[in-house]
């Protein structure tokens, strides 16, 4: 009987207030950086999704340009391009010659922005030639 009383006194059944406070401090020290890391990861996922969508829309426009006749390729702007919340601008400039020249070279630049924003997400450039001989 005496040993049972000694065991109860030396091994309390609950936690002290100091132990609970220390546990809460340790958990908060670990959880704050972890929550910041998760928040940064979620933000990067959304930015990545935005960038991929802009790249795909720019590639789509470049494919459309490649399927147009040379004379019909001109500067144009599109709001909510193809039904997406992105604005696309196609800028066409003559690098060599002009519209009346026999030989000419056009620079086609496509810029994609989020609708209503001014920052360009992606920019693609290509050149198309009409009757230009290279390497001769």
pLDDT in tens, 71-89: 899 999 999 999 999 999 9
**8 part of a folded domain:** no
**4 part of a folded domain:** no
Structural domain span for residue 110: 16-130
Q: Report if pTM > 0.75.
A: no
Q: What is the mean pLDDT of the chain?
A: 88
Residues 6+ apart with CB under 8 A from 4: none
- The tally of domains found in the chain comes to 1
Q: Determine the pLDDT at residue 98.
A: 83
The dihedrals phi and psi of 69, each to the nearest 5 degrees, come to -75, 155
Q: What share of the chain is helix, strand, coil (3-state, %, to 5)?
A: 50, 25, 25
CB 88, CB 58: distance < 8 Å: yes
């Amino acid at each position: 009987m005496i040993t049972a009383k000694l065991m109860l006194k030396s091994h309390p059944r609950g936690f002290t207030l100091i132990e609970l406070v220390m546990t809460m401090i340790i958990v908060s020290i670990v959880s704050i950086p972890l929550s910041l890391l998760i928040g940064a990861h979620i933000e990067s996922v959304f930015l990545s999704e935005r960038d991929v969508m802009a790249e795909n829309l720019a590639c789509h426009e470049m494919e459309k340009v490649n399927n147009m006749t040379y004379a019909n390729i001109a500067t144009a702007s599109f709001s909510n391009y193809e039904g997406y919340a992105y604005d696309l601008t196609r800028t066409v400039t003559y690098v060599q010659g002009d519209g009346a020249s026999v030989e000419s070279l056009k620079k086609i630049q496509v810029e994609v922005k989020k609708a209503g924003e001014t920052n360009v997400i992606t920019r693609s450039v290509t050149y198309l030639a009409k009757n230009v001989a290279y390497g001769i």
